[in-house]
Amino acid sequence: MTDAASIVLPNMAARRVAGTVRAIVRTLLFVLIIVWSAFPILYVVLSSFKQQKEIFKYPPDIIFTPTFEHYMALATKWTGFFPTMANSLIVAVGATLLACAASILSGFVYSRYANRFLAGSVLYLIAIRLLPPIVVTLPLFPVVDALKLSDTHIVLIVLYATFWVSLCTMIMKTFIDKIPRTLDEAAVVDGATTMQTLFRVIMPLALQGVAACAIFVFVFSWNEYLFALIFTTQHAKTAPLIISEVMDAVSGTNWGVLFAGVTVQLLPVTLLVMLAQRFLIAGLTAGSVKG
């Protein structure tokens, strides 16, 4: 007994030390990643409350008297900013609804039905995500023009939704795959149509997937710049375009106003992501582990 104990004890001590070292390294890595990713955001948000002359002071002040002058300037001198936020909201909500509706239907089909056409089309769904957006943007221009959709909310809603529907379909398929097929069969025996089965039985159980898709599409649509720049001019202009105008102003870049604009722009998505964080992680890891 004593022999066994004397053999085990040094090993245990060594393991404890190794465990502590691992924990310290892990914590340091986390801190590094958090600082790396949070620093620019923190810098922008703090700078938006600083006097113009304090923004580029070196070393920067951590403690300072906050001012709202840049926010006032944003509202009074860049009057287009807040109305374009409304446009951003319309476009982001519209694209989210459209992408989610399409992905729920297509995810259900890919999960529950199988044939050669469906198997082949998965490749195209994924391939479309591999193209850089600019490749499809230019050929789209005459089409959008011919349909008289230029500078409308619809064009951005359709484009953003289309861009995301392939990935969201795969996310929804993964979520629906996890729902036992006997539930569909029970619903069919209970007298449900295919649509009733989808909306009354499947969708309530795949809500996490829907939420994950909604967040992806919303955040992308809210921040998107390239399509908005090309396809809108006045009426359907979104907030990121105004921020870029602040940067390129003929009078020079007003960094304080720019940072204020970016901070306001950041707020809704930050709140949304924080609220729905668990859905987002579920969406990112969907299908990665066996349930």
Partner 1 sequence: MVAINIDRFVKRYGALEVVHDISFDIEEGEFLVLVGPSGCGKSTILRMVAGLEEISGGELRMQGVRVNELSPKERQVAMVFQDYALYPHMSVEQNIGFSLELARVPKAEREAQVKRVADILQIGHLLERRPRELSGGQRQRVAIGRAMVRKPQLFLFDEPLSNLDAKLRAEMRGQIKRLHQTLKTTSMYVTHDQLEAMTLADRIICLFDGHIAQMGTPHDLFDRPANVFVAEFIGSPTMNIVPITASKAEGRTVLTLAGGGEVSLPDGTALPSLTNDGNVLAGIRPEHLSDTPTPGATARIEGVIDMLEPLGSDILVTMQVGGATLTARCTDKGQFQAGQNLTLHFDPARLHLFDSKTQMRLG
Least distance to partner 1 from the beta carbon of 181, Å?
A: 9
Least distance to partner 1 from the beta carbon of 12, Å?
A: 40
Quick one: 32 or 207, whose CB is closer to partner 1? 207
Least distance to partner 1 from the beta carbon of 108, Å?
A: 16
Sole binder of partner 1 in the list 122, 205, 272, 273 (CB under 8 A): 205
Least distance to partner 1 from the beta carbon of 104, Å?
A: 16
Residues 32-61 that bind partner 1 (CB under 8 A): none
The DSSP code sequence of the chain is -HHHHHHHHHHHHHHHHHHHHHHHHHHHHHHHHHHHHHHHHHHHHHHTTS-HHHHT-SSPPSS-----HHHHHHHHH-TTHHHHHHHHHHHHHHHHHHHHHHHHHHHHHHHH---HHHHHHHHHHHHHHHS-HHHHHHHHHHHHHHTT-TTSHHHHHHHHHHHHHHHHHHHHHHHHHTS-HHHHHHHHHTT--HHHIIIIIIHHHTHHHHHHHHHHHHHHHHH--HHHHHH-SSTT--HHHHHHHHHT-TT---HHHHHHHHHHHHHHHHHHHHHTHHHHHHHHSTTTS--
Least distance to partner 1 from the beta carbon of 216, Å?
A: 24
Least distance to partner 1 from the beta carbon of 186, Å?
A: 4
Quick one: 87 or 208, whose CB is closer to partner 1? 208
In this structure, are residues 262 and 48 in contact, taking their beta carbons and an 8 Å threshold? yes
Least distance to partner 1 from the beta carbon of 182, Å?
A: 4
Q: Which of 92, 91, 126, 104 is nearest to 211 (CA)?
A: 104
211: contact with partner 1 by CB under 8 A: no
Quick one: 11 or 115, whose CB is closer to partner 1? 115
Residues 218-237 that bind partner 1 (CB under 8 A): none
Quick one: 180 or 252, whose CB is closer to partner 1? 180
Count of residues interacting with partner 1 (CB under 8 A): 16
Contacts with partner 1, 163-202, as mask; x by CB under 8 A: -----------------x-xx-xxxxxxxx---x---xx-
Count of residues for the chain?
291
Binding site for partner 1 (CB under 8 A): 180, 182-183, 185-192, 196, 200-201, 204-205
